[in-house]
Structure 1
Amino acid sequence: MRLVIGAPGNGTVLKDAIKERLAVDRRVSSVVDLSAPGITYPEVSFRAGRAIAEGEADRGILICGTGVGTAIAAGKVPGVRAATAHDLITVRGSVENYDAQILCMGQNVIAAPAAWALIDIWLDLRHDPTSDYGLKVGEIEAYEARRA
């Protein structure tokens, strides 16, 4: 799986801890860090969203203070769904139900070991487009296509 990861300054510590674990995970073929000194949460989120929308990455992980700002910004990129999740049920639902390509977390909300435990599961999750939720995701995609 090709991943992008990114964070503004208030997510760097957690981002770096997660990136270190991803770098040695056999399920991950590449990890591109989109962070830069002074980058804002909207800009790093737009970069991650574009990388996914343009087929350069399969999924992304964004870290800010709460995970909310990055999810809002990344979700503005057409074709991208981002979800903030800090618990197992939400992480599972974000992919299995809603086909979210970007997982957003908050450095001020979750500790690195707990974040990694969830990301470890997240890496194996898949969306079933034939499920009832698949139809709903299709409805969202159709709405977005009409607005483009």
Structure 2
Amino acid sequence: MKELPVMRIVVGAPSNGVALKDEIKDLLEKDDRVSEVVDISSPDITYPAVSVAAAQQVVEGSADRAVLVCGTGVGTAIAATKVTGARAATAHDLVTVRGAVENYDAQILCMGQNVIAPAHARALVDLWLDLRHDPSGFYGPKVREIEEFESGA
């Protein structure tokens, strides 16, 4: 079996996502597939601010991936995707998590504390850590098409 690289993960949440974010952070800190977990949350941070900050870290390369949690996961995904080069996806089931990474190369997983139980969120993150995008696969040209549009090419 091919060994997967160890990742640096940034996590963040506004106040309405802290409980689930803390569950996920605890899981990540105990996982051998993760070398570092950086929590950029603060008591007064807004979902746009935490989402943009996490996305910037991923795009700049100081983090490999990010997990963001708000009430539904939608607000964090919308805000994170405003950072050029960031691909964030809201996912609350195994099929969507798999597709987000393998098909669309999403580096940022967004979830909603009001939508998913912690046990299910932990299962999704566990799968998410093993997933990779194959740029030579069927969806590779489509991801490149998005990147070209984004860059103005």
Q: TM-score range by the shorter chain?
A: over 0.9
Residue 113 of structure 2 corresponds to 107
Q: Unmatched 5+ residue regions in structure 1?
A: none
Question: How far apart are 1:132 and its partner, in Å?
Answer: 1.6
1:8-87 equivalences under 5 Å are: 8-87=14-93
C-alpha distance in 2 between matches for 1:104 and 1:43: 14
C-alpha distance in 2 between matches for 1:74 and 1:81: 8
**Moved beyond 3 Å, runs of 4+:** none
* Secondary structure at 1:29 match in 2: strand
* Secondary structure at 1:132 match in 2: coil
Question: How far apart are 1:89 and its partner, in Å?
Answer: 0.5
* Secondary structure at 2:72 match in 1: coil
- Normalised by the size of structure 2, how large is the TM-score? 0.95
* Secondary structure at 1:4 match in 2: strand
The CA deviation string for residues 73-101 of structure 1, in whole angstroms up to 9 with x for no partner, is 00000000000000011000000000000
The CA deviation string for residues 34-88 of structure 1, in whole angstroms up to 9 with x for no partner, is 1011100000000000001111000000000000000000000000000000001
Percent identical residues: 67
C-alpha distance in 2 between matches for 1:89 and 1:37: 33
Kindly tell me the number of residue pairs found equivalent between the two proteins: 147
Residue 137 of structure 2 corresponds to 131
Root-mean-square deviation (CA, aligned residues, Å) is 0.7
* Secondary structure at 2:37 match in 1: strand
Residue 119 of structure 1 corresponds to 125
Q: Unmatched 5+ residue regions in structure 2?
A: 1-6
Residue 6 of structure 1 corresponds to 12
* Secondary structure at 2:152 match in 1: helix
- Normalised by the size of structure 1, how large is the TM-score? 0.98
* Secondary structure at 2:139 match in 1: helix
C-alpha distance in 2 between matches for 1:54 and 1:118: 25
